[in-house]
Amino acid sequence: MILIRGGSVFSASTSSKGGFEVKDVLIDGDRIAAVGRVHVDEVSDVVDASGCLVGPGFVDMHTHLREPGHTWKEDIASGSAAAAAGGFTAVVAMPNTDPPIDEANIVEEVIRRGAEVGLVEVSVAGAMTQGRAGVVPSDIEGLYECGVRIFTDDGDCVEDVDVLLSVMMRIAALPGAVVSQHAEDAAMTVDGHMHEGSMSARLDVGGLPAEAEIEVVGRDLDLVRETGASYHCQHVSAAGTVELIRHAKAEGLPITAEVTPHHLSFDDTSLADLDTDFKMYPPLRSGDDRRVLREALNDGTIDVVATDHAPHLPEEKSTLFGEAPRGVIGLETAAAVVSGVVDDPARMFQSLSLNPASIASLKDQGRPIAVGERANIVVFDPRHEWTPDRFVSRSSNSPYKGHPLKGRPLLTVHNGRIVYSLVGAA
C-alpha cells in the first residue's frame, strides 16, 4: 500500500474547473482505496505531499517514442521513463516511425511493448494515410478496431482535400475517433527554418510564415462542417489559428486544440544565436503570438498542452541550423512550464490530464481521485526550483537546458505502482 499524505488533492467534480482540498490518498493494489483523513497501521510507502498538488497523472497526447526504427534517439522504454519522470502516466505515440504506424500489427506491437515496459500507458496514434504519404487513406476501421482513436500523419500535413475528406468521412462514423492535423502548408514552407518575421530577416534564415498554419486550419474547418468529424489541431503556434479555433468553437464545431510548452515559453527572439535546440516545426513565433497562446490556454480556447517530445541526438543537432533535424524533447519539463503559465493550478490538470485523456479516449486516465478509481496519480511540487541539465530521455535536445524552472513532479504512480520518485532520482 502507498499513502500519499496531506497533499492538496485535485477534485474536478465540485465545479467544472475543479478545485483542491487537503486530503490523504491511500493506494492498495492498482486502485485508490481511501481518500480523506486516512489512518492505517501498515503501509509500505508513505509520501509526505504537504504543499504539493495531487491529481490524475498527466497525459501527453503527442509523443515521439521513435520506436520502431529510430531507437538511437529514443525507444519505448527510455521514452516511458522520461514520461514517468515528467509526471505522465500515459502517452500517445505518434506514428512517424520507421515503418510508420499505419497497420494494425504495428499498433499492437507498440502497445504490447509499452505494456511490457509498464512505466506508463502507451497508446498509439495511427497514420491517416498509408506510409504517411498523404495519398491513400490507411485502414482507418482496422486501426480503430485495435484501439486507435487519434489519426494523424504528424510530421507532415495531409494537404490533399479529397484524401482528407474521405478520411474524415470515415472517422466521423467511428465514435471517439478524431482527426489530428499537423497544419503546415508544405508549399509555403520550402527552405524555411524559423518563423518568418523581423528575426528571420535579420538572421537571413528562410522563413516559415504563420499563414502556412492558419490557411490549412481554415480550410480543414470547412471539412469539419461538411463531415462532422472531430478535429484536433496539433501544436498551435500562431495567433491567427487561435482566432479560427475560437470562432469554430463558438460555432459549435467539434474542435479541440493543443499548444506545446515551448510555444508558451519562448518566441523567435530565442533564436538570436541559432541554437538548434530551439529549432522545431511549427517554429517559435513572435512575442505577440506567444502572449495569445498563453491567453488561449487560460481561457480554454486551447484545451491541451502536449509536448511534441521529439528526441534527436547531440550529434544530429550539432550542425548548421538549416540542416539540423526539427524538434525538441519536452516530457520532463512540461509540467513546470504549465505550472508557471496557468492562472489557476486546476488548469494544469485540465490541460495536462483531463482534456487529453478525454480526447484520446483513455478510460483509466484523467479520472477523479476517488475510491475505486485506477491509481494513475501525480504528486507535483509547485515550489521546487531546478535547472534541467541532464535528462532521463535518451536525447537531450531541450530548449530548457540551463533555464531555471519552478515546479516538478515528486512522485508518479502508474497502475498503483511508484514508477518515478524525485527523492531517489536525484
Return the active site residues: 308
As a whole number of Å, the CA-based R_g of the chain is: 20
Cβ 252 to Zn ion shortest distance, Å: 26
Task: Give the H or E element holding residue 289.
Answer: helix 287-298
Window of 133-141, 179-187, 208-216, 386-394 that interacts with Zn ion by CB under 5 A: 179-187
Is residue 185 close enough to count as binding Zn ion by CB under 5 A?
A: no
- Rounded Cα distance between 195 and 281, Å, is 9
How many CB atoms within 10 Å of residue 141? 12
CB of 119 to Zn ion, least distance (A): 24
CA distance 379 to 20: 13
Between residues 317 and 374, which has the closer beta carbon with respect to Zn ion? 317
Q: Please identify, among the stretches 158-166, 180-188, 193-201, 358-366, the one whose residues bind Zn ion according to the rule CB under 5 A.
A: 180-188
With CB under 5 A as the contact rule, which of the stretches 153-161, 249-257, 271-279, 339-347 interacts with Zn ion? 153-161
The secondary structure of residue 326, as a DSSP letter, is P
- The nearest distance, CB 419 to Zn ion, in angstroms, is 27
Q: Are strands 194-195 and 207-208 parallel, antiparallel or unpaired?
A: parallel
| Pairing relationship of beta strands 230-233 and 207-208 according to DSSP bridges | unpaired
Interhelix angle 211-227/161-172, rounded to 10 degrees, is 50
User: Which of 64, 182, 193, 232: binder of Zn ion (CB under 5 A)?
Assistant: 182
Measure the CA–CA gap between 388 and 417, rounded to whole angstroms.
Answer: 26
Amino acid identity, residue 175? P
What is the C-alpha separation between 179 and 151, in angstroms, rounded?
5
Point out the residue whose Cβ comes nearest to Zn ion: 182
Near Zn ion by CB under 5 A: residue from 60, 154, 215, 303: 154
Name the residue nearer to Zn ion (CB basis): 307 or 421.
307
Smallest gap from residue 155 Cβ to Zn ion (A): 6
Q: Please, which residue, 132 or 408, has the CB nearer to Zn ion?
A: 132
For residue 350, the surrounding DSSP H or E stretch is none
Q: Which is nearer to Zn ion, 232 or 394 (CB)?
A: 232
| Nearer residue to Zn ion within complex by CB, 117 or 216 | 216
CB 116 within 8 A of CB 80: no
Q: How far apart are the C-alpha atoms of 25 and 9, rounded to whole Å? A: 8
Q: How far is the CB of 194 from Zn ion (least distance, A)?
A: 16
Specify the residue, 11 or 152, whose C-beta has the smaller distance to Zn ion.
Answer: 152
Among the candidate windows 148-156, 242-250, 297-305, 398-406, which touches Zn ion by CB under 5 A?
148-156
In whole angstroms, how close is the CB of 379 to Zn ion at the nearest point?
31
Residue ranges that bind Zn ion, judged by CB under 5 A: 154, 182
